[in-house]
Each structure stands twice: as C-alpha cells, then as structure tokens.
Chain A
Amino acid sequence: MNRPFLYQTFLIINLKILCMIIITFSFVMLNAENQIIKVGIYNNSPKIFMSPQKQASGIFIDIIEYIAEKENWKIIYVEGTWEECLHNLHTEKIDIMPDVAFSPERERLYSFHKTPVLSSWSQVYANQGTTINSILHLENKTVAILKSSIQEQAFLRFIEGFDIKINLLSLKSYTEVFRAVYDKKADVAIANNFYGLQHIKDFDLFETGIVFNPSSLFFVTKKNTNLQILDTFEKHIQHLKNNQKSEYYKSLNKWTTENVSYQFPLWAKIFGLIIITALIITTIAGFILKKQVKLRTKELEKSNLEMEQKVKTRTKELAEAMEKALQADQLKSAFLATMSHELRTPLNSIIGFTGILIQELAGPLNDEQKKQLALVQKSSRHLLALINDILDISKIESGQLTLDYSEFNLDEVMEKTTKIIEPILQNKGVKLITNISHKVDSIYGDKRRIEQILLNLLSNAAKFTEKGDIKIYCTYNKKLCNIVIQDTGIGMEKDELSKLFKPFSQIDKGLTRKYEGSGLGLSICKKLIEKMNGNIKVESTIGKGSIFSIEFPYKKETINE
C-alpha cells in the first residue's frame, strides 16, 4: 500500500519541478527575445496617428518600428487622446510617449533624449478667401485649438503681448480643429506645421503668415524611468539623422510630401466625359450591333437552311412529279398505241371486205346491196377519220408529235389536195380558183402535215359552200408563206369564231345534222400550224362566207433559228 503512495508523491514533486523550470525558462526566453515596449499613440497626422485600418502610422511610428526591429523589441500601441496619453505615461500604462515638444515645464515631468526628432512650429490656418495675415487680424475671432496642447499655452502667451481679444475653441483633435474652421464655427485653426502641411487641402484652408512657438519634438518617458530605452532612441536617432539615406529621411519624405494631384481644366473634364460617354455608348452600341448582326446572321443561316431544305424538298417533289408525269406520258403513249392498233384491226376487216364486196370481187351485187354497202364504206371511213383525228390530237397534246421536215414543191401538194376536193365541188357547181405565186420553187416543211391542214381547210370550205366559189391564194414574203382560202359559204357569227379552234366545238345550230365531222379538224390545224411556229386566222360574215389564212416559215434557215 505504501509503495504506490510514495511513488505518486515523487511523481507530483517531479512534475512541479518540471513546470517551474519550464515557466522560468519561458520568462528568460521572453525577456531575452522580445522586450515589450508600450507606446502611446494619438491622432496628430502625419507625425503620429492610427490609420482607419487601425494601423499605427506616421513619422514617429516609422522611427519606433525601425528601432524596434533593430533592438528586437515588441511594440504595443496604446491609443488615446493627447491628454489621455500623457495621463497613461504618468500612470505608467505606457513606457514611452512620442511627439512631445520640449518645454521647461515638461522637463520637470518627463525625461527627454538629446537629439530632437523633428523641429516643429505652430501655425494659424484660415478659410480660403479670408485675409488674415497678421496676429492683429485675429481680434474678436474664434480660434480653434487642440485642448491641453503646447500650442494652447503658447498661443495664449503669444497673444498676451498684443492685447487682443479672441474666443478660444478648445477641441480634442486636430481634425475637429480644422473641421470647425471648415464648418465656419471658428475663424482660424491652430496646428503644428506638420499637420497643417498635410491637411489644409482636405479642409480647403490656407496657411496664414502667423507662425509662433518653434519647438523641438522628442520621445519622452516618465521622469527618470526607462532611461535605457531613451538612450537607445538617442543612439538610433543620431545615427538616422546623420545618414541622408536613412529610414528617417525616407519617412520624412513620405509623410511631408504634398499629395500632388493635377487638376484638369473644366473643358478637359467635360471633353473627357463626352469622349468617355461616347466611347461607352459606342462600345454598347457595338456590342448590341454585334449581337443583332449575330442574331440576324443566325436567322439568315436558319432561313437559308430552311430555304435549302425547301428547295431540296421541292426538287424532290418536282422530280417525283416529273417521274410520275413521265410514267403517265409513257402510259398514255402506250394506251394510244394500243388503242390505235386495236381499233385499226377490226376496221381493216370492215373497210377491206366492204371494198371487196363493192368491187364485186366476191360476186355480183344488186343496186340496193351496192347502195347499202356504200353507206357502210362511208361510215367506216368516217369512223377511221375520227379515230385518226383523235389519235392526232392526243399525240399533239402529249407532245409526241414531231414534225418531219423536208424540201418539197408546194404546187404538188396543192394539186393533190384540190384533186380530192374538186369532185365534191363539181357536184354542187362551186368553182375552185387558185392563185399561186411561183416565186418560190420549193419550200422546207412537214409535207404530210401541211397537206393535212390544206385538205382540212379546203374540205371545210367545200362542206359549207353551196354556191359561188372557193379561192386559194398563195403568197410569200421574206420569212413566211401565206395561204388564204376564201369561200362564199354560210359564214359564222363573231362569237362563234372564238370557239372555232377548240376541240369538239363544231358549231351546233342544227348544223351537225347537215354537216358531219369530228369537230377536231380545225383544232388539229391550229395545233399543227403553231407547232410549225406559224399561225391561223379566220374572218367571217354570216351568210357571206369565211376567209381562213395560214402563215408559216418556209425557209430552212428561218425554221432552224
């Protein structure tokens, strides 16, 4: 039981010793490494002040920091007003107080080093525009001054000799002193030359010529305390002041140089503003424009794409339509070919055997049989003509009709067609008069189709003319051959003429019974002549007759154009 107890006691004693050693050692370490110096700081820019960032600043601070670094001191700043700081020094809350002007009264309270840090004087500052230039001008003026400062005492002493009355406005800081003048609560402000130099611009004040109380500024300690520290200060300050490139002069330079700022003239300001505004507007406009252009470009690209797509789609549709049309055309052609073939085969039998019978190759016929077979023959031929017409117009409309050009003699064609018509006219007693120019030996064209057109026009004329004559004129000009067929037939009304060249438009006024025909002839004529780059015209007077005229190019070179 005793053993553990003893052991425990021993352990505790050991621990205590260890702790003591550590603590002692720490103190020694602390003393050796960092001597703590407590420094008073108050607001007297640029000599000493707390920056808005709570950073101790100013000429005195720069010197302290320099010495502290050299001496390995740790500086603790204790902030207060001028009066508070002096009180702190007296009560030893701070070790040292910077920026203290020497005076015999103060020498009794504080210990000074020998070399002054700065030489200072007090100066009177007034509002711009006032004309205070001598101490006498201060009569009845309100003077703002730092409370309990050396200036306060000195100023009072200073004016004693002049016998002037002033109102004294004691304030706690230089800032308040200057503001009082700025706010017109006081007429003039009194401050040391350092503060004045740095702050007259801020409060729009000017330096009057009134200067007094030149003084030297020192670091001080409470009388007969911290003398060692004062000696160290003395040593460094001497050294600093002797060296033109030292931290001391750098600091002075830093804190006393006026903040030079160039004032632009008004016109330049306005001009600059205008330029900047213009620049901003231009930039914004440019940006907007760029954006719009981008947008438009995008839109354009989009619509381009859409267009392309549409074109593609349309092209495809068109190609499909073309394909369909082509197929339809081919189908139509095949249908036409088949129809033509299939109708011709039975007609071949009808027309052929009728012809054989009429020719009595199969045996003799009586008159009635001959008459009836003649009717069959006539009807079958009419049917064939109808089929041929229908096929013709179908061929033309489906674009399958191609002209077969060659050189030929128009006289021969005229002769052939008139020969076909003449027998019909002879029966009626209608005369056929031809008046053909022989200026041209041969013409270039589709002989069969021109023959077809002439035959059609002539048989129409023959069909509708019961008496009088049919005249054929043929003339040539440089480019065109002109053929006119004039009859003295029944004629037509004007409104009938417009329908004349349309298919199946044979004028129906009971005429169909008297005049047979498919009603396709003139329509085919018009299409054929137009295919030849020619034209067909008609003039007519009802009861007096009609004039049909055709024109078509007849020279190879004209046609090939």
Chain B
Amino acid sequence: MNNNYTLLIIEDNPDNYYLMNFLLSKHNFNIIGANNGLDGIKIALQKVPDAILLDIQLPEMDGYTVAVELKKQKSLKNIPIIVVTSYAMPGDREKALASGADGYIEKPINPETFVSEISQYLKPK
C-alpha cells in the first residue's frame, strides 16, 4: 500500500504487538517496536518515524505521559501519535487527545479497517 512509511509501535503486550506488526507489515509499512515508554521515546528520537502507535497501559511510564514527552521533543512535534488502547471508558478518548495524541483507536481493532484508519494520519510523501 504505502511504501517507505516507518511506524513506531509502543506496545508491551507481545500478542498485540505481533498482531499490529503482522498486519501493517503485510501492508508494506516499516515497523519498529518498543515495549515501554522510555525506550519508545529514545527510539523515536533516533529514528523519527512517520507515525507512532501508542498503547496506554505501559510499564513504568503510562501512554499519556509518553505522548506528552514525545510532543515536547522538537524533532517529534509534528509526528502523528495514534493511541491504540483497550481503555474505552468515557473520558479515555478525551484524555488521550488532551495528552497530545492525534488519533484514538479502541481495541479490539478491526483488522479490515485498521490500516486505512492509520493511513489517514499519514502525510503524503
């Protein structure tokens, strides 16, 4: 589908990471991963991906804080962050967006529409 897009997935659950990695790789995305927030920020600064998929429940530093930290970085300021989370209670979406996230996708993801949902946040190259 889209070539040369690099996506960073920050996700601690290996099954979920595997699922998203598999699905997006099949659609020709370059995937890099991190299983915690601090690593995610580090990798994001190094690689500067085209978009970041961010889980909320993460060890040590939660997704909201990670989003805030990522948006603080000058080089990452304009990189879209899409929160992909199992938190689906009222206010969770608002909280994610308030932390600086650009998109919010509730788990379970719909594998048929997931890729196109992600794609809409990507800037055309």
State whether B90 touches A395 (Cβ < 8 A). yes
Neighbour of B89 across the interface among A336, A355, A356, A362, CB < 8 A: A336
Give the chain A neighbours of B110 by CB distance below 8 A. Answer: 351, 355
Chain A, residue nearest B87 (CB)? A341
- The interface residues of chain B lying within 8 Å CB-to-CB of A352 are 16, 19-20, 23, 108-109, 111
Residues of A within 8 A of B72 (CB): none
Most buried by B among A351, A380, A401: A351
Residue of A nearest to B26 (CB): A361
Q: Is the beta-carbon distance between B19 and A353 smaller than 8 angstroms?
A: yes
Q: Which residues of A contact B88 (CB under 8 A)?
A: 340-341, 344, 391
With an 8 A cutoff between CB atoms, is A350 at the interface? yes
Chain B residue at minimal CB-CB distance from A388: B88
A342 to B107, CA, bound (A): 11
- Contact of A351 with B111 at beta-carbon distance under 8 Å, contacts A345-B13, A362-B22 already known: yes
- The reply to whether the CB of B86 lies closer than 8 angstroms to some CB of chain A is yes
Is A348 on the interface with B (CB-CB < 8 A)?
yes
- Interface 1/0 per residue, B101-125 and A, CB below 8 Å: 0000011111110000000000000
A359 within 8 A of B: yes
Partner of B90, one of A350, A362, A400: A400
Given the known inter-chain contacts A355-B110, A361-B26, A362-B22, please indicate yes or no for A348 contacting B89, CB distance below 8 A: no
B60 at the interface (CB under 8 A from A): no
Distance of A349 Cα from B87 Cα, bound (Å): 15
Task: Give chain A residues whose Cβ lies under 8 Å from the Cβ of B111.
Answer: 351-356, 359
Interface of A is mostly: helix
CB-based contact B86/A349 at 8 Å: no
Partner of A341, one of B20, B22, B57, B109: B57
Q: How far is the CB of A69 from chain B (nearest CB, A)?
A: 118
Q: Contact at A344–B108, with CB atoms within 8 Å? A: yes
B interface majority secondary structure? loop
Q: How far is the CA of A355 from the CA of B88 in the complex (A)?
A: 21
A470→B46 CA distance, assembly (Å): 58
CB distance from B5 to the nearest CB of A (A): 18
Whether the pair B107, A345 counts as a contact (CB closer than 8 A) is yes
Contacting residues, chain A, for B22 (C-beta < 8 A):
356, 361-362
Q: Which residue from A348, A359, A361 sits with its C-beta under 8 Å from B108?
A: A348
Q: How far is the CA of A361 from the CA of B18 in the complex (A)?
A: 13
Contacts of B20 in A (CB 8 A): 352
Please tell me if the beta carbons of A345 and B86 are within 8 angstroms of each other in the complex: yes
CB-CB contacts below 8 Å: A325-353 with B: 333, 336-337, 340-342, 344-345, 347-353
Query: Using a CB-CB cutoff of 8 Å, which residues 1-32 of chain B contact chain A?
Result: 13, 15-16, 19-20, 22-23, 26
With CB as the reference atom, state the residue of chain A lying closest to B15. A349
Q: When the two chains form the complex, which single residue of B13, B16, B57, B90 contacts A401, counting CB atoms closer than 8 Å?
A: B90
- Whether the Cβ atoms of A402 and B108 lie closer than 8 Å is no
Residues of A within 8 Å of B19, CB to CB, are: 348-349, 352-353, 356
Give bound CA distance, A380 to B108, whole Å: 10
Interchain nearest-CB distance for A478 vs B (Å): 32
List the B side residues contacting A333 at CB < 8 Å. Answer: 89
Given contact pairs A352-B109, A356-B19, A344 touches B86 in the complex (Cβ within 8 A): yes
Tell me the smallest distance from the CB of B54 to a CB of chain A, in Å. 15
B16 x A337 contact (CB < 8 A): no
Residue interface mask B49-63, A partner, CB < 8 A = 1: 000000001000000
In the assembled complex, A414 has its CB within 8 A of some CB on chain B: no
Smallest beta-carbon distance A399→chain B, Å: 11
A384 at the binding interface (Cβ < 8 Å): yes
Contact of B89 with A395 in the complex, beta carbons under 8 Å: yes
Contacts of B87 in A (CB 8 A): 337, 340-341
Closest to B112 in A: A355
Please measure, in the bound complex, the distance between the C-alpha atom of A526 and the C-alpha atom of B112, giving whole angstroms.
32
Given A348-B109, A352-B23, 8 additional A-B pairs, CB 8 A: A340-B87, A348-B15, A348-B107, A352-B19, A356-B111, A361-B22, A380-B108, A395-B89
Residue pairs across A and B with Cβ atoms less than 8 A apart, 14 shown, are A341-B57, A344-B107, A345-B107, A348-B86, A351-B109, A351-B111, A352-B108, A353-B111, A355-B112, A356-B111, A391-B88, A391-B89, A400-B89, A401-B90
Closest CB pairs A-B (n = 5): A355-B111, A344-B86, A348-B108, A348-B107, A351-B108
Q: Which residues does B use to contact A, with CB under 8 Å?
A: 13, 15-16, 19-20, 22-23, 26, 57, 86-90, 106-112
Residue numbers of A with Cβ under 8 A of B are 333, 336-337, 340-342, 344-345, 347-356, 359, 361-362, 380, 384, 391, 395, 400-402
